[in-house]
A and B are shown apart, each in its own frame.
Chain A
């Protein structure tokens, strides 16, 4: 027994079981209802987009890991898969495969790896990829097809928010009913249409404590307050807060995009400011901007403030209040 050797390490000697891959795959799991919904509404097309996005992201990630002489095993930490999955969820179903691949390469290369890989990027990689596509191919990115559940013969189709902004839907009485928004029987990006699927996934992430509850709550509250004021003042011109929460990319943004750990603040106060900022910018763009939808830009906009928020919202240290 005296010649026994022991491992020497510094404390603590206990470790919680959660890990980066477990967190990443929990997000993937939380997106499964939304994937099912997208397949239900956009059929085989949805699977093709999801698969090609993930495959391209993994390939790009692998290439960069190799270029940077990093171990390829971190390919399976789940982060590239999430970027691919989230990018696919934010694309119009009718987009062509070449553009999907371009978007996915940009997401990983420009959105993540040029900053130094996992944990280093300032902006949400999936949204960087999408913003690139939106800027480079604006027509494709705003051309919508009806879901397979709606039988109409039109080449193009408006999203509920597009309808609201450009077709004067409230006055015409053609505003999309809340029920359709809730279930997803509408046009829009692949994974953003079904509110219920996103809420289920979001609740799972909240329950599993993967995401910071302040962020979705803050976004929902500030958007509801912002749009609510205008709706109460003039319901004939402005849509209700319920409509704004359920329509467009708000829910996928609030639960899955804005909550990205790498690009969101680390202090509780910072998270509140960040979330309130996103909600208000979404409201500003939707009500007064040139675009019908503003979730993507508002998250990217607030991402830029995160380093600043982290610096200036340091939590209070125990004992700071007392005099020394």
Chain B
């Protein structure tokens, strides 16, 4: 099979061997869960419960009032202790529903499956996905129902199922493909029906050969194929993945819709299938817990709202020397300050390790490595300089808004310049300037 790829990018150490052979274990639900009402791209869900209410497993506790939002469900059965601001992995406190687990896992009567999922109409599929609060599980947590609703003037022809998992250390998606390929493909077929697409492509990096055959055998039932991709970072970044597989370029500032494509991560595809066939809301997800700071790295199935503390204790605890805790992957993950922070839908991994001493920052020597490795074709060093001197107009002209913050430039920079940090600062400054102008 021809191995496809995109230009530039990097190849960081994979470090997947620590957990790749570890089957997904279930973490026992904790005594208390803190479920943030904002776990997705968009606006905060409106709380449906108050202190003292009894809730069941899978019961809707936060409602998506806006289009760009997602419902939130209880991940245990028990009593609501409070609805108040709580730690959030994103950094700022967010309203969250704290529930004391009664340990009974009483399932909500709202949950209803459907017998013949494939004969449902696109609207019915979208409705069920929306009702189950499904969001993209790759990390960005974009509301999935929105992704399943392409505008009328943008016909979709291809569904891409993203099985790249190009971030180092993470293996939960790999385990899902190995352990539940059927569910993933069924979910992909639902996406295809909902969007009216013709075919499905499952993109898998060539360091996961073991799952390729498994998926290939099962995809024959559908209009689909598996495509092998080079192991390279960020192969799983949406725009690069689309380019690698189909040589189509999502226009600057545009969406995959614009080139007739919908991309779903493998975990999301599985969640879509469960939401439609079982009516199961997204109240748990598979994650990788890894890094040399973790006693026993594992892949686990965790209830949303479980504090990091419980997750790490289940995985052999934290080493003395571990001094950095990251939610997500090593390249794009968010570093955490507290173990008393709950897991959210977008958490793909919890990683801990001993960070090497920060290197000295040298002046830029214009080595051009950031240019040679930027998957978007930007000139990071120039952009960083524009931001440093507050020249937002030039930064925008040179494409700072196209930056996806993948981190390739900073990874490769021999001068140790915090390029991604400058990009974020610049993008924030431009966004706030635009808000001011429109206000």
Q: Give A contacts to B, CB under 8 Å.
A: 1-2, 4-16, 18-20, 22-23, 73-74, 77, 79, 117-120, 212, 261-262, 264-268, 271, 310, 314-324
Contacts and interface: CB of A to CB of B under 8 A. Distances in A.
B142 interface: no
- 10 tightest CB-CB pairs across the interface, nearest first? A12-B407, A119-B363, A266-B368, A322-B251, A20-B362, A319-B252, A324-B251, A261-B367, A317-B377, A12-B331
B278 interface: no
B376 A318 contact: yes
A118 B363 contact: yes
Contacts of B252: 317-320, 322, 324
B379 A266 contact: yes
Interface of B: 10, 12-13, 168, 239-240, 243, 248-254, 258-259, 309, 312-313, 317-318, 323-326, 328, 330-340, 355-356, 359-360, 362-368, 371-372, 374-379, 381-382, 398-399, 402, 405-407, 410-416, 418, 420-421, 424
Contact of B359 (A1, A5, A14, A15): A15
A11 B336 contact: no
Most A CB within 10 A of own CB, among B240, B367, B374:
B367
A312 B334 CA distance: 36
Contacts of A320: 249, 252, 377
Indicate the member of B253, B317, B366, B424 with the most A CB atoms within 10 Å.
B366
A147 B421 CA distance: 55
A11 B332 contact: yes
Nearest to A18: B414
Contacts of A23: 365, 367, 414
B410 A12 contact: yes
A268 B373 CA distance: 12
Contacts of A6: 323-325, 335-338
A2 B313 CA distance: 11
Nearest to B371: A266
Contact of B418 (A10, A18, A117): A10
11 contacts: A6-B323, A10-B418, A13-B326, A16-B413, A18-B414, A261-B366, A262-B366, A266-B368, A268-B372, A317-B377, A317-B402
B362 A74 contact: yes
A14 B413 CA distance: 11
A65 B165 CA distance: 46
B249 A321 contact: yes
A9 B357 CA distance: 13
B339 A318 contact: no
B339 A14 contact: no
A12 B258 CA distance: 29
A315 B416 contact: no
Contacts of B325: 6
B381 A266 contact: yes
B243 A318 contact: yes
Contacts, number: 180
A117 B253 CA distance: 38
Contact of A12 (B13, B317, B330, B355): B330
Given A2-B309, A267-B379, A15 B416 contact: yes
Given A4-B339, A16-B412, A117-B363, A10 B368 contact: no
Contacts of B421: 10
Contacts of B378: 315, 317
Nearest to B291: A13
Mostly helix, strand, loop or mixed at chain A's interface?
A: loop
Nearest to A116: B363
Nearest to A13: B330
Contacts of A261: 365-368
Given A314-B398, A317-B376, A324-B253, A13 B365 contact: no
Contacts of A77: 362
B12 A14 contact: yes
A271 B412 CA distance: 20
A45 to B, nearest CB: 32
A322 B258 CA distance: 9
Contact of B414 (A20, A268, A321): A20
B382 A310 contact: yes
Contact of A10 (B13, B317, B335, B359): B335
A198 to B, nearest CB: 21
A25 to B, nearest CB: 12
A20 B414 CA distance: 5
B97 to A, nearest CB: 22
Q: Which of A5, A8, A13, A310 has the most chain B CB atoms inside 10 A of its CB?
A: A13
A317 B251 CA distance: 10
Contacts of B416: 15, 19
B309 A16 contact: no
A316 B420 contact: no
B251 A319 contact: yes
A140 B164 CA distance: 64
B359 A19 contact: yes
A309 to B, nearest CB: 12
Contacts of A73: 360
A28 to B, nearest CB: 15
B355 A13 contact: yes
A212 B355 CA distance: 31
A119 B407 CA distance: 22
B331 A11 contact: yes
B377 A13 contact: no
A297 B315 CA distance: 64
Contacts of B364: 119
A7 B414 contact: no
Contacts of B412: 16, 18
A318 B411 contact: no
A168 B323 CA distance: 72
B13 to A, nearest CB: 7
A79 B340 CA distance: 47
B138 to A, nearest CB: 15
A153 B378 CA distance: 60
A315 B334 contact: no
